[in-house]
Structure formats: structure tokens, C-alpha cells
């Protein structure tokens, strides 16, 4: 667990994030997390192939479409999608991944560890930002 605490601290210091599963639906975590990171001064890119914009911001279909490489990716999608996105994260050499509760299973975490990614899971970025 010590590694996770260190990773969490390091991630919150990174200023360029991508939120996979960002959504314009204000009731969903994909919106709340996207908005809160922006409110806290982070550069945030939304990733959602089914959405074009959130509050006037352009939303991208995939991580490779972003204008700059994020330092950290926040997952707000089902585990099967998280698992697929990990391949793109590895290919782009993005070091940090934050799995929101419900976005991972054992297989997903194993794959992330196999890729030597610095990860946080069982923790919500919304809560961490308010600490």
C-alpha cells in the first residue's frame, strides 16, 4: 500500500491529465472528475469516442489523438475498457494510471503491473483532491 500512497502523491503533482470516460452527463463521475481536475488548475483532456465536447471543451476519441501526452490517465470506465486502454497507455509511455473504484478487476491490475505502470486503485481522485 505504501507504493500506492507514493504514486498518489506523485500523480496529484502532475499537471497534465486525461480522463478516460469523460462525459457531459453532470450526474456521472466522468463529468465530476473531469470538472474537478480543471477547477484545481490541471490541464485535462477528456477521452470518449461517443462524445464531442464537454462544456465547450473538445473531447478526444483516444489518447493518441491528444495534442500533448498526458502525465497521468484517470480511468472512469468499465474494467474491460480499462484493460484495452492500458495497451495504448503502454505504447504512448504514459507512466501513471489512476483507476477509479469500479474501473478495474484483478486482471486489469495485473496487466498494469506487468506494464510497470505506477498505479492507484481503491481510491477516488475526487476525495484525494479535497485532502
What pLDDT, on a 0 to 100 scale, did the predictor assign at position 2? 63
Does the global pTM surpass 0.85?
A: yes
For 71-105, the pLDDT digits (tens) are: 999 999 999 999 999 999 999 999 999 999 999 99
Spatial CB neighbours of 5, under 8 Å, sequence gap ≥ 6: none
Domains of the chain, earliest start first = 2-126 (3.40.50.720)
Q: Grid coordinates 479535497 are at which residue?
A: 130
For 30-53, the pLDDT digits (tens) are: 999 999 999 999 999 999 999 999
CA separation for the pair 26, 10 (Å, rounded): 28
For 12-31, the pLDDT digits (tens) are: 999 999 999 999 999 999 99
Amino acid at each position: 500500500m505504501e507504493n500506492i500512497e507514493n504514486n498518489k502523491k506523485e500523480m496529484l503533482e502532475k499537471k497534465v491529465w486525461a480522463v478516460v470516460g469523460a462525459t457531459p452527463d453532470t450526474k456521472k463521475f466522468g463529468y465530476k472528475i473531469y470538472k474537478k481536475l480543471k477547477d484545481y488548475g490541471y490541464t485535462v483532456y477528456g477521452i470518449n469516442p461517443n462524445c464531442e465536447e464537454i462544456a465547450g471543451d473538445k473531447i478526444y476519441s483516444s489518447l493518441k489523438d491528444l495534442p500533448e501526452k498526458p502525465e497521468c490517465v484517470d480511468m472512469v470506465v468499465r474494467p474491460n475498457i480499462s484493460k484495452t486502454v492500458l495497451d495504448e497507455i503502454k505504447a504512448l509511455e504514459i507512466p501513471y494510471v489512476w483507476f477509479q473504484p469500479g474501473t478495474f478487476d484483478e486482471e486489469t491490475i495485473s496487466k498494469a503491473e506487468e506494464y510497470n505502470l505506477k498505479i492507484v486503485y481503491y481510491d477516488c481522485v475526487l476525495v484525494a483532491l479535497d485532502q
